[in-house]
Structure 1
Amino acid sequence: MADIMMTRLHEWMVVLYAVSLVFYFIDYLNKDRMAHRSAFWILLVVYVMQTVFLVMYIVETKRFPILSLFEGIYFYAWLLISVSILLHLFSKVGHAVFILNVIGFIFMTIHTFAPNQISNSAVGEALISELLFIHISFAILSYVAFSMSFVFAILYLILYKLLKKRKWSKQFGRLPSLQQAASGIKIGIITGIPFLLISLILGVQWAYIALDEWSLLDMKIIGSFFILIVYAVVLLFMQMGRLRGNNAAWANIFAFLFVIINFFLGSTLSGFHFWI
């Protein structure tokens, strides 16, 4: 029972850490105070949980947990969160805080779902299944976010065409403004990118511990990383002002087509993505 409870708490730490990263990413791009505060308080909860587990481990083993790779990874992740919280409180270096937490999340995931940890755990098979569940959940959330961006891109083009031709209808009042549509496009990308990145990190970790044979050159993996790069480039160009208005809308529509292709064709050609 205690083993299962500890496993669940570590899983919740990873999930909360992932949610915190999403808020940090939103704040990183838009300087959103609400997202900034939410990210910090969620991260603080993760930090308190990590610290409690660290102290409990020290009390139980009566030594500092750095004598093995497994222990060192946990302590390293804890230190990264400690430094990021200090930077958050005493300096204005949002870039450093965000990057530190991305690295910390990767190592926290490696620790929580490490092969040695799973093989020595009474709930090893359940842990692997739940890692897959979390991976798929974040992948689906990223698809939802990109779908929202796609829908707002279409609405932007429709609204622009109606305004240009000065054609009004009864349904016109139900359409968003151009500014609202543009904001919807951007919010969808900003939300989808960290979700997809987290999903890829968890997915690679799952494949490493659950599969005997797999490759980073798998079509689904290549396609997912390609989509991440495409949306990152689109967002970068939008931030730089090189993609605006109709061009930004069309860029998001074409990017979403890659999502659809990867979802169906990539999964069909994949060597281990059978869940579709």
Structure 2
Amino acid sequence: MNRVKTALARLWKRLLAAVCVVACICSVAACGSGDETGKIRIGIKFDQPGLGFKKSGTYVGFDVDVAKYVAKQLGYSEDEIVWKEAPSKQREAMLQNGDVDMILATYSITDARKNAVSFAGPYFVAGQDLLVRRDDTSIKGPEDLNGKRLCSVTGSTSATTVKEKFANEVQLMEQPGYAECATALFSGIVDAVTTDDIILAGLASASRGKLKVVGKPFTQEYYGVGIKKGDKAFAKKINAAIESMIKDGAWQRAVEDNTKGTGYKPNAQYNPPKPTEGE
């Protein structure tokens, strides 16, 4: 009898343990699915100094500052923002799949992209430029690219521009992020990195004087807030928030704070822009 009782006790403990495991799994799953309830999910870059950069568990940069301002105007505090990494080639899919509510990730507004998603904004106008090693005097502008090796990011408008304008002149290496491009430039694998001037300014600052921006932009890139296609009401609210940020001086402060020490100045002919996209 004692043996039977002992066996039953062991079985009962095992059943309790199994129930607890299942309960814990269900609880974790429920917590995971509920973490984002009542919050706004915003896609940003995690690897762009001065724009969208993940640093010791926090997020800093101009795109981040604009995103925080817009979120606040929409009724969300900073602790109600869920930050998600938005690599260039994944941005459209993230919006289409509902992984994020909006994306602020140096996301240039183009007709091709508007076939898949909609935009609010623009909130900034950059220009594509070139980043070279500090001691390089052979590249002073796009006219000096013949025979050079360039690096840009897969899925970016910068890579598309190089293919369209300089396909017969340069050898293009595409990388998943600009950190990889900067590494290739440091090591001499490429001669220059090309993307928007404000991105390059952040990379130059992070290089501690080893890299420099050429300073001859050759495009205009209108940064928009990516949203789900056709959501005009949301676009109108975001545009109103950007307009408010520009009017109260927060936009200018964000530009200055995030480009301090780089010598970068946004093109006053285009900045600050009028946010009317998507309405």
* Fold in common (TM above 0.5): no
More strand by share: 2
TM-score by length of 1: 0.30
Which structure has the larger Rg over C-alpha atoms?
Answer: 2
More helix by proportion, 1 or 2?
1
Greater relative contact order (CA < 8 Å, ≥ 6 in sequence) = 2
Q: TM-score, normalised by structure 2?
A: 0.29
